[in-house]
Each structure stands twice: as C-alpha cells, then as structure tokens.
Structure 1
Amino acid sequence: MLLHLGAVKGGLGALMLRRVCLLSRHAHSYSQSVEHQPIKKVMVANRGEIAIRVFRACTELGIRTVAVYSEQDTGQMHRQKADEAYLIGKGLPPVSAYLHIPDIIRVAKENNVDAIHPGYGFLSERSDFAQACADAGVRFIGPSPEVVRKMGDKVEARALAIQAGVPVVPGTDGPITSLKEAEDFAKTYDFPIIFKAAYGGGGRGMRVVRNYEELEENYNRAYSEALAAFGNGALFVEKFIDKPRHIEVQILGDKYGNVIHLYERDCSIQRRHQKVVEIAPAAHLDPHLRDRLTKDSVNLAKQVGYENAGTVEFLVDKNGKHYFIEVNSRLQVEHTVTEEITDVDLVHAQLRICEGRSLPELGLKQDKIRINGSAIQCRVTTEDPARGFQPDTGRLEVFRSGEGMGIRLDSASAFQGALISPHYDSLLVKVISSGKDLPTAATKMNRALAEFRIRGVKTNIPFLQNVLSNHQFLYGTVDTQFIDENADLFHLKPVQNRAQKLLHYLGHLMVNGPATPIPVKAKPSDTDPVIPTVPIGEPPLGFRDVLLKEGPEGFARAVRQHKGLLLMDTTFRDAHQSLLATRVRTHDLKKIAPFVAHNFNNLFSLENWGGDLHK
C-alpha cells in the first residue's frame, strides 16, 4: 500500500501519503492511550517529608491523597497534609507499624485506594510489598515486584550488571554464610574489604575491614545490623575501593521499554556511609566519564525492563574508573537536586508512568534533558556534631527557616512546638539551593542556613556551614573520606541563644523566686503554733516496728497480708519537695512529730525531712 502511494506522482500522492502516516501515528497513540488508567486516590505508605512531597504532587495533578500513621505519629504533619488519614500498626513498635504490610493493604482496600507510593526507606524496596499491592489490585508506584526483587538482591543485581557489560567491584558471587568465607575472600583479594547487607541499603549492615584483627568483630556487627534493619542478616563481601567518589545516576523508565537518564548526583560527602550533602551535577566530572556512567545506567535498566524512577549507584576511583555498586529501585532522598537542574518533576513522572503513559507522551526524551546550573541539598538533622552526631530529642521552642531566591525546603516536623521523637530518622528539613554554578549555589545555601533559628534541640547546621565554606568542596573534588580527613569541619561556631536564655531566666524567676534571700527586716510572727495534746505513754506499733523486729522478710509478709490500702505521707518533706514544707520549719515539724506518731501509726511510711533549724 505504502509502496503504491509512494509511486504516485504529483501533489495528490504526497497528500495521501502524509494522511496515511498521520493515521498510523494516531493509531499508535491510541494503542497507548487505551492503556492509560487514571489514578484517583494515592496512599503514601510512609511518613515525614517524603509523604508530604508526594501529597503535593498528587494535589497538583488532581489526585486525592491518603496518609497512614503510627500511634507515635498521631500529631505529625504528614497526617494533616493528606485528604484522609488512617492509623496502622496499632499496638506495634513505632517502626514496625510502617512495616506491617497486611494493615497497609487493608486500609488501602477499605478506602478505595488506586495506587500506593512507598516513598523511601521502610517498604520501598521490598518486593513482597510490591507483590502484595498487585495481589490486592492496588498499583505500586515503582518497578514491578520482580524487578524490585532483582534490584533488592545485591548479588543478583551485580550479576545483571555483569550481563549488561557494566563494570563491577570484585566481590562474592552470593551472600556469605560464615566467617570462613570472608577470610577466604580476604586472602584472595587482600584488605581492605567491605561487608554489605544483601537485602537493604542506606549504610545499614555496612562495615569496612582493613586487617584480620578486625574481621570477626565487623562480620558480627554487620550481620546484626542487617538483621535488625531488614529482617535478613545475609551479607556479601567486596573489595573496598579506597577514597572513591560516590556518583549516582537518576533514571526513568516506562511500560514500553523507553529509558532515559537525568544525569548524575555526587553523594560523596558521607559520614559512616550516610549521605550528608548531595550535589548535582557532579563537580569537575570528565565528560567522557559522565557519558560512560549514564550509558551504563540506561543499558542496565533496559536489561531488566526497569519501569518508573530509580537510581544506579557507582564508585569512581582516583583513576576515573567506575564500578557499579547497586540500584535503588525507588525515589531517593536527594532526588530534589536532580529536579532543580533538569526542571523535571520526578514524582509527577512516577505517577503518570504508573497510569500507563510513555516517556515521549510526557515530553521526556533524552535529547531534551539538559543540565541547568548546579544544585546542593543539605540534610538538616537533629544531631549534635560536637558529640559524635548523637541524635537529640525534645520540643522545638523556636523555629525560623531560611528562605529566598534559589532556596527550596522539604520538611515535615519543622515548626515551632513540634516534638522531635527518638523513634524515627533525625532528618528535620531538607534545604535545597540552586544557582548558575556550584559556588553560587553554595553561597545561597550558606546564607539560608545562617537565617535558620532552631531552639530546643541541637542541629548539624554549624557543621554544614563549615562544609559549604571548605575550599576543597567549593573548587575541587571530594571523596567519601572528605569528612574524616577534614578535622576543621568540627571546629564549630558556638550558637548564640541570648533570647531563649533570658526567657528561661525570667520564667525561673517568676515561678521559683529569686535565688538569693530578699533583704527585708520582717520579724517572725508573735503567734506560736498550737501543739495538739499528745496521749500519755508509748505510741502504738506500726510497720516500722515490724521491720525492726522481724526484718525485711517479716515486713514484706506483713504488707502482703494487709487487706486495706497502704498510704505514704510526704507532708514533712523539706525544700521544694512539698508545698507545705516550704512554709514549715524543722523546729515546728519536731514539735508535731509526737502527735503524728500516736495518731498515724497505721501509715505504710512517713517521710520526715528537715533542714532549717532556726527558730
């Protein structure tokens, strides 16, 4: 048919050919549009700022939102930002509530939820959760359960990377089951080596070992951490690449085999494998290396039929050689910096892809994705850098954020009066700055952090300001040892807290009075207190006599045999312990004691503390 039309000479033939081509494209478009299944209601099976981030994207797309929360999160902001909110995991520990798949699925089905977004952490990389959603007829906003399983198993992900021709770090072919296997690997590849959790990430279950003396202890610790965090202590071992850069590539895939990348992020500024500051794009990255990283990421994604958003992570050694380490089959905490430099809303894309739309339909074609400027994300946490980043808890007495041009804030519990709980991650707010280049973005970030006023808990802001002012950070390249090798980062500027100190002092003064005696010449009252008549003879026996006569065992027996209610009288306590005793002198307490002994012998106990012996 097309050959015949192409052979027709003149304008009529050309016109007919164009119409056939248009009809063909329309038919292809229609074949995809019939696959579209609009999402009307989304649940986020998560908490905090990532839940709010997804809710906002849903609202912008006209999608109704559902929050879930644990008993400990009753007052959390993410619950209030959704159209509907439901309790899950009643009676369970705080973290376990968000891991309770049956309860989450139950709430979704009872409330006609179309799709579930897992956020990051918790169930986001659990293939059994993705499968449970599919079995319940609820869409999982992420890759298929099979892809989640493959990418979640670091050993299988490694094998897939090798099949796709992506370079990998030397390591074990499967999870190790004994210390002996780790010893054998070390003999083959020499130290340093690293243990990694086979079924999770985020730095949990990850331990670097530099000699044989450290091997057994780090193996046991890594196993315990992995078991506690992911319910499976399986580990695998890799050769440790010393002082690498940690570069990750953002990818998007659709249901039709299209995959694109949105360039890279540099996540090298880490402490104990936990990211602290993230940059996009990576500074001073060789263009040829960037091409290899992005090409390998896309190839691997196509190899496994990757759908939705994901991140392919690499280590880059000092010679510019890159090694695949893992795929995070979810949205990353640091996805924000990619959004800032590409102008692509990743959560919008996730939702539309889940509805069945193709990347070309969304205008997401590789040749249209460009890097615009630079962006930095700082994770402001309630941790004290001066005390080894120990998490701090309490109530936010004051909270004022830094804002302005080039600043984006993603937060959940950052407001005055918020209670910082010990149960969850210490992240308070993500601050994202953007500018024409890295120094400009750093200047904006530094200014924004300086505007923050947070009182009531310690934060890592002074530490972050030191990072942003560091010359190596601004004009060089950083590696994963940047924090460990820069002691100056811990020379923290003391936080001025004059206003709060003054308020605390005034409040103490109003409630407790001045700390020094008031210099007045007031005379004691001329009226002596009336002393009640005391019966003649010894006072009746009480529980103290039982203790003295029969000892602790007899005393305990007497207490158990007593049928009534036993009372302790604390009226005679000294100082601020009792409102009455602050107005009664020991001199007077001593006079009333005989009457009490005769009339209150049936008390369980009586406290008689004194201090001021002046008449």
Structure 2
Amino acid sequence: MSFEKILIANRGEIACRVIHTAQSLGYRTVAVYSEPDAGARHVLMADEAVCIGPAQAAASYLNVEALLEACRKTGADAVHPGYGFLSENAGFARACKDAGITFIGPDEDAIHLMGSKRLSKIAMIEAGVPCIPGYEGEDQSDATLLKEAERIGLPLMIKASAGGGGRGMRVVTDASEIPAQLKSARQEAASAFGSDELILERAVMEPRHVEIQVFGDRHGNVIHLGERDCSVQRRHQKVVEEAPSPVVSEALRQQMGEAAVNAAKACNYVGAGTVEFLLAPNGEFYFLEMNTRLQVEHPVTELVTGQDLVAWQIKVARGEALPLSQEQVTLTGHAMEVRLYAEDPAQNYMPQTGPVLQWQPARGDGVRIDHGLVEGQEIGSHYDPMLAKIIAWGDTRDDARRRLIRAVEDTGLMGVKDNRRYLAAILRHPVFANGEATTAFIGNDFASDTSLSDTAVPDSLWALAALLLSRQHKAHPALAGWHSSSVGQQPLQLGCQGEEKAVSLHYQGDRVDVTLGDTTLCLAETASGRISVDGISRDYQIYQHEGQLWLTFMGHTACFEDRTHVAVGGAEQAGSGQIRAPMDGAIVEVLVQAGDTVSKGQVLVTLEAMKMEHSLKADCDGVVESLSLKAGDQVKRQQILVNLTATDSASAIA
C-alpha cells in the first residue's frame, strides 16, 4: 500500500508528534483545523492545512465527511487519526477504506470488537486471556443484572460496555445501592456513548494499572514492547505513566506480554495497540480493555526501547513487516511522563481557559516535551485541557524521576493556570518515589497534599512583584539602576489570587528592603541578572499583560496587579452577587429565574466546558435580579450569567 501524503485527523500535541515523524520519513503532511485553531502549532508545522468547521468537535474533528473532503482537496492518500476523536471509530476506518485512503491503524473489525467491553471480554475469555470473573451476557434486563450482581458479590464494578474514561463506571460496596447504581450507570452510558449496555465484574481493589504495548503487521507477526505502569490516576484518567513498571519482574513481564500478544492475535490485530490489565496485590493480572490506537503515553515506551512508534505505524500501514522480532526488543533505563493540563487542582481540577502569554519548554539531558502550543494562542473550552506531555529518561527510575521533577518545574507557562505544582508534588511523594503507588494513590495517600488546596503565595513572590511593579513605567521591567532613580520609601497595594496586601519598599543603595506586615525581605540584583532574596539568588521569569504581571519564582507562578491607585470600594468583592462564567462553555441547565430567592452555595447554573460539567453557585444570600440564559447558550469566560441582589441579616429579619 503506497501513499505519499498523510492527513492528520487530529489537533494539539499528537498532531504535531505525527507530523514530525511523517515529515522525517519524507511524507507531505496535511493538517486539519477548526476555526479557533487556525493559528495552532500543528497547522503551522504541516505542509498544507484545511479548515474543516467551527469550534464544536462534532462539526469539525468528528466530521467524517469534512475530513474525507479535506483528503480529496489536498490529494492526501493516507490518514493518521492520532488518539481521541475518531481514532477508535470503526465507521471512520471503513469510510477511509471505501474512499481508497489508507487508514494508519487497525482494521475496522478489530476496532469494533475491542470497542465493546462486553464483546471484547468474551473474545478474550475464548483466547485464554485472564479476565476478571463477572457477567458480560446479552441479556441486559434489570432482573438479570441484579441476579448476576448477587452471584458475583461485593465489591462490584459496573461498567459501560462502550467508551471509557470512567464514564458509566461505578464501584458498589453496599448491596442496597446496586439497583440505583445500575440505573445511574445506564443513563450515563446512554448519554455519553449512545449505548446503555453494561458489564459487571468483581471489583479489584487498589490494583496497579499495567498495560502492554503490542504491534502487529500483515505478515502474521505480533510482538509486544514491554509494559507501562499507569497506576497514578484520578477519576480513571491517567496522570503519571512510566516504563517499565517498578513491580513487574522479568517473569511477570513475559506472562503479561504473552497474554497481550494472544489478545491481539485473537482479533487479527494490525498496527499499534495497547492491552490494559489490572495487576492485583497478589500478583494475578486480569484483562481490562484494549485500546486500538496509539496511546497518549507512548513516548515512555519509545524512550526505553529506542524506537519511533509512529514510524512503525506508517511502515506497517504501507505493508512492511515489523522492524524487530520479539527477541530483538530490549528495554534500557527508565522513563516517566506527566500530562500538563490547563486546570486548577485546588478547585476540584476545574479546567482553565485563557491566553498562552509565555511558553518555554524545559530542556536538558533525557528530557522530551511533546506539545502543541504557540505563544499567543487562546486555550478555549471546546477540547480536552491537556496542553503538553513532559517526559524524562534516566538510567534508573530515580534518575528519571529527578529529571522529570526538574523538567516540570523548569517548564515556563504564563497566562493560564496549570497543574505543574501538583505534578511535582506527586513525583516527590514518598509512596510514589518508592514505587508503591496503586490506583488508590491520589484518593488515599495524596488526598491531603497542599497542592490540592489554595495555598498562600510566598512572601518572596509578593516582594519581587512589588519591586517589579514599582518599575512598570519601563517597557521591560528590570532592577538595574533602581537605587539611582528611587530613594526613600514607596508604598504599594498589590492584588493576587483574590487577596490584597500592602507592601512597603525602602531603597537603600544597591538593595531594597520590602516589608509585608511583620515580614521584611532584602532584595538585590546580582551581576548575572538574578534576584537575591535574603542572600540567596535565583532566576525568575516575568510577563506583563494588560496591567497584570505574571511572575515565576522559586517554583511558583502567580499573577499580580498593582492596585495602589484603585479607588476604595472600586474592586469587585467576593459575595458581590455577580456570578460569572469561569471559562468559555455551553449552558447545560438554568436552575433559577428572575425573582427567585436563593441561598449562598445554591447551584444556579450548570456549565459544560472541556468535557466536564461545572456547577456555578450563589456567592451570597439574595434574590435573582436578572439573567438572560437558556440551555445551549454559548458563553465567554468572565461573562456575567446571573445578577443577585444580596440580602443582609437585617433585611432578612425585617
């Protein structure tokens, strides 16, 4: 199967990743993009680019006809689907084939089979792959499911047969909850995947999540390239991935590898796939599912095997045999990956939107950053909030872990909140450092970590921000020459993360004493341009944008405003009654109407953004003064959605 031009039916970092390898192999590449992605990095990297529709994924990246038309327009004779979107859509694979376009992935029959947890489990049982005892029958009546749940026993796992990502999934530990949880799982599965089909399994508590990378070709060869440990998860979404697993011995690797190869052979698998297992504390492992695409975490396998898996995909798609036999696969060193998200872990992982003002990926030995970012782009609410993947390799697991911590903290991102501090805290946690993290790690061992709460911005950042903002009349704030232009004491009022502080700067020759309440810090600039705080010099990064100063210093990033000249009472205070959209999104439900009396904390509006629903609550007791919303409306970040007239205790008594 010969082809010359590859269209990448995706966006973001995976589109950039595929384009890089495709171009290195001499192929011309075509990017597709939605209207808000017109200036995205993958569009700039590709040889050609075609707009395929508006922001909504259903009208663009999930629009099969628009993608096929882009192939026809550009002469693209192959399609790489990346991951997500249409990558595991059997209908899309068939449509490409019918149009004479090579689909760089498995055949539609394998995608269809493995896309159903029920059908795939039946096939795996027949192939002799270890599976968790449960029920995967065709009879989906409530009576049968209740009877089978009683037979399986507790703890019970209820799963949607279609889809993944934790949706339609319930763990039941109380038998009285089974009927309600079956109903809830059915409804969520039908809404998310268009199918309410369920399977039941005995829940494996606190397992490791270990997956095997498999590859097949059209010459009958199927091999595996070792395992990845993806146990650190939240809400069934992976946070940290590593290869090899710290708990898998060579003997266990061989057993799991053979099981994964048998799973692939059972569906005549071609291309890259991942067979996922649950590894129980007693060492037994069970088939979970098979992903019929390249995984987000494939770079850790690439780093320990020295192979380019996208190049393998392309070679297999053009009919070549696998580049290596099983005996030739070797694992060297250790690799770890974390996912950089535009989210706020301290606010229940709420996705964040905003501009990418500054982006500086970390560099260093053994460090790799896969991303799709360009400075100036807007992170919107229509797509997954993953911005980049930060990956590190080392001779040992601890070498890789240390490098990854440094890479996370040295990666510069300003303009939108992200999860870097959270990721670094996970990597430093003793349970993870010791290789003991299970799927219960974040919910148990990590549940009280300070990165999951709003922590105070360190005084050192306030002090440096005060110094820089006192110089904001300069185009590029700097400390050089401060002592010659400012003498004596200078008061400032700064705002950051909803907090305000009075700061006093006292210039004394070549240093500045900055006082915040009872604390005084001595700041000076070194000859190298670093900032010294109380005798310790460090690098810092700044970016000024629309009256705001973004500052990264000592492992923290914060945004400051100079509020010295803001009139008293001019700032909007917490409890103002103005309920704003925290990000761009779509209104799912409006729960109040004008004239309603509401209580502080009451849910007023439900907003959907970045594949999640967010409840917007009243910030005070009051009466709904005005709102002009209905389900389906698109709203912008910081748009006022509901106005409340606050009621105080006196008026309430009257």
Q: In the alignment, is residue 275 of structure 1 matched against residue 272 of structure 2?
A: no
- CA 1:516 to 1:301, structure 2 compared with 1: closer, same or farther past 3 Å? closer
- CA 1:144 to 1:490, structure 2 compared with 1: closer, same or farther past 3 Å? same
Query: Hey, what's the Cα distance between the residues in 1 that align with 2:211 and 2:91?
Result: 26
Structure 1 residue 432: deviation in Å? 0.4
1:470 pairs with 420, 429, 432, which one? 429
* Equivalent residue number for residue 543 of structure 1: none
Q: Write the letter of the residue equivalent to 1:462.
A: R
* Equivalent residue number for residue 431 of structure 1: 390
| Residue pairs, 1:429-468, within 5 angstroms | 429-468=388-427
Q: In the alignment, is residue 514 of structure 1 matched against residue 477 of structure 2?
A: no
CA contact (8 A) 2:117 2:162 kept: yes
CA contact (8 A) 1:251 1:312 kept: yes
1:405 pairs with 361, 365, 385, which one? 365
Runs of 4+ aligned structure 1 residues displaced above 6 Å come to 499-505, 509-513
Q: In the alignment, is residue 372 of structure 1 matched against residue 332 of structure 2?
A: yes
Query: Hey, what's the Cα distance between the residues in 1 that align with 2:412 and 2:466?
Result: 14
CA contact (8 A) 1:396 1:417 kept: yes
Query: Hey, what's the Cα distance between the residues in 2 that align with 1:95 and 1:72?
Result: 14
Query: Hey, what's the Cα distance between the residues in 2 that align with 1:101 and 1:168?
Result: 35
* Equivalent residue number for residue 43 of structure 1: 7
SS at match of 1:52: helix
CA contact (8 A) 1:176 1:237 kept: no
| Residue pairs, 1:464-543, within 5 angstroms | 464-487=423-446, 490-492=449-451, 498=462, 506=472, 514-515=565-566
CA contact (8 A) 1:171 1:239 kept: yes
* Equivalent residue number for residue 392 of structure 1: 352
Structure 1 residue 294: deviation in Å? 0.2
- CA 1:337 to 1:399, structure 2 compared with 1: closer, same or farther past 3 Å? same
Query: Hey, what's the Cα distance between the residues in 1 that align with 2:247 and 2:117?
Result: 29
CA contact (8 A) 1:142 1:309 kept: yes
Structure 1 residue 127: deviation in Å? 0.8
CA contact (8 A) 2:213 2:272 kept: yes
Structure 1 residue 488: deviation in Å? 6.0
CA contact (8 A) 1:50 1:120 kept: yes
Q: In the alignment, is residue 59 of structure 1 matched against residue 18 of structure 2?
A: no
* Equivalent residue number for residue 205 of structure 2: 242
Structure 1 residue 216: deviation in Å? 4.4
CA contact (8 A) 1:72 1:94 kept: no
After TM superposition, the structure 1 stretch with the greater mean CA deviation from structure 2, 70-79 or 321-330, is: 70-79
Query: Hey, what's the Cα distance between the residues in 1 that align with 2:38 and 2:192?
Result: 24
* Equivalent residue number for residue 169 of structure 2: 206
SS at match of 2:53: coil
Q: CA RMSD in A?
A: 2.4
* Equivalent residue number for residue 377 of structure 2: 418
SS at match of 1:88: strand
- CA 1:107 to 1:221, structure 2 compared with 1: closer, same or farther past 3 Å? farther
CA contact (8 A) 2:334 2:394 kept: yes
CA contact (8 A) 2:146 2:179 kept: no
- CA 1:308 to 1:397, structure 2 compared with 1: closer, same or farther past 3 Å? same
Query: Hey, what's the Cα distance between the residues in 1 that align with 2:110 and 2:185?
Result: 26
* Equivalent residue number for residue 297 of structure 2: 334
- CA 1:235 to 1:402, structure 2 compared with 1: closer, same or farther past 3 Å? same
Structure 1 residue 51: deviation in Å? 0.7
Query: Hey, what's the Cα distance between the residues in 2 that align with 1:292 and 1:66?
Result: 41
- CA 1:238 to 1:512, structure 2 compared with 1: closer, same or farther past 3 Å? closer
1:322-379 deviation line (CA, Å, top 9, x unaligned): 10111111000000100000001000000010000011xx2x1111111100000000
CA contact (8 A) 2:7 2:80 kept: yes
Structure 1 residue 98: deviation in Å? 1.4
Q: In the alignment, is residue 229 of structure 1 matched against residue 185 of structure 2?
A: no
Query: Hey, what's the Cα distance between the residues in 2 that align with 1:487 and 1:389?
Result: 14
Q: In the alignment, is residue 357 of structure 1 matched against residue 316 of structure 2?
A: no
Query: Hey, what's the Cα distance between the residues in 2 that align with 1:482 and 1:175?
Result: 35
* Equivalent residue number for residue 111 of structure 2: 148
Task: Flag the structure with higher strand content.
Answer: 2
Query: Hey, what's the Cα distance between the residues in 2 that align with 1:513 and 1:280?
Result: 52
Structure 1 residue 276: deviation in Å? 0.3
Structure 1 residue 86: deviation in Å? 1.1
Query: Hey, what's the Cα distance between the residues in 2 that align with 1:240 and 1:472?
Result: 23
* Equivalent residue number for residue 70 of structure 1: 34
* Equivalent residue number for residue 72 of structure 2: 109
Query: Hey, what's the Cα distance between the residues in 2 that align with 1:434 and 1:425?
Result: 26
* Equivalent residue number for residue 592 of structure 2: none
* Equivalent residue number for residue 164 of structure 1: 127
Structure 1 residue 303: deviation in Å? 2.3
- CA 1:501 to 1:351, structure 2 compared with 1: closer, same or farther past 3 Å? farther
- CA 1:52 to 1:345, structure 2 compared with 1: closer, same or farther past 3 Å? same
- CA 1:494 to 1:426, structure 2 compared with 1: closer, same or farther past 3 Å? farther
1:260 pairs with 223, 238, 245, which one? 223
* Equivalent residue number for residue 87 of structure 1: 51
Structure 1 residue 512: deviation in Å? 9.3
Structure 1 residue 77: deviation in Å? 1.8
- CA 1:109 to 1:471, structure 2 compared with 1: closer, same or farther past 3 Å? same
Higher-RCO chain (CA-CA 8 Å, sequence separation at least 6)? 1
Structure 1 residue 175: deviation in Å? 5.8
Structure 1 residue 504: deviation in Å? 7.2
Structure 1 residue 502: deviation in Å? 6.8
Q: Write the letter of the residue equivalent to 1:387.
A: Q
Query: Hey, what's the Cα distance between the residues in 1 that align with 2:269 and 2:85?
Result: 21
Structure 1 residue 218: deviation in Å? 3.5
1:287 pairs with 243, 250, 256, which one? 250
- CA 1:297 to 1:73, structure 2 compared with 1: closer, same or farther past 3 Å? same
Structure 1 residue 489: deviation in Å? 5.9
Query: Hey, what's the Cα distance between the residues in 2 that align with 1:387 and 1:70?
Result: 29
Query: Hey, what's the Cα distance between the residues in 2 that align with 1:176 and 1:51?
Result: 41
Query: Hey, what's the Cα distance between the residues in 2 that align with 1:348 and 1:495?
Result: 45
* Equivalent residue number for residue 124 of structure 1: 87
* Equivalent residue number for residue 533 of structure 2: none
- CA 1:285 to 1:410, structure 2 compared with 1: closer, same or farther past 3 Å? same
After TM superposition, the structure 1 stretch with the greater mean CA deviation from structure 2, 179-188 or 429-438, is: 179-188
Query: Hey, what's the Cα distance between the residues in 1 that align with 2:449 and 2:347?
Result: 10
Q: Write the letter of the residue equivalent to 1:246.
A: H
CA contact (8 A) 2:19 2:46 kept: yes
Structure 1 residue 96: deviation in Å? 4.2
Structure 1 residue 461: deviation in Å? 1.2
Query: Hey, what's the Cα distance between the residues in 2 that align with 1:511 and 1:295?
Result: 62
Query: Hey, what's the Cα distance between the residues in 2 that align with 1:205 and 1:494?
Result: 37
Structure 1 residue 109: deviation in Å? 2.3
- CA 1:279 to 1:513, structure 2 compared with 1: closer, same or farther past 3 Å? closer
Task: Flag the structure with higher helix content.
Answer: 1
After TM superposition, the structure 1 stretch with the greater mean CA deviation from structure 2, 215-224 or 63-72, is: 215-224
For these two proteins, the number of residue pairs brought into alignment is: 476
Structure 1 residue 503: deviation in Å? 6.7
CA contact (8 A) 2:354 2:416 kept: yes
- CA 1:385 to 1:356, structure 2 compared with 1: closer, same or farther past 3 Å? same
Identity among equivalent pairs (%): 41
Q: Which runs of 5+ in 1 are unaligned?
A: 1-36, 518-615
Q: Write the letter of the residue equivalent to 2:337.
A: Q
CA contact (8 A) 1:386 1:490 kept: no
1:91-145 deviation line (CA, Å, top 9, x unaligned): x733442111122112212322111111111111111111111111111111111
TM-score relative to the length of structure 1: 0.73
2:286 pairs with 302, 316, 323, which one? 323
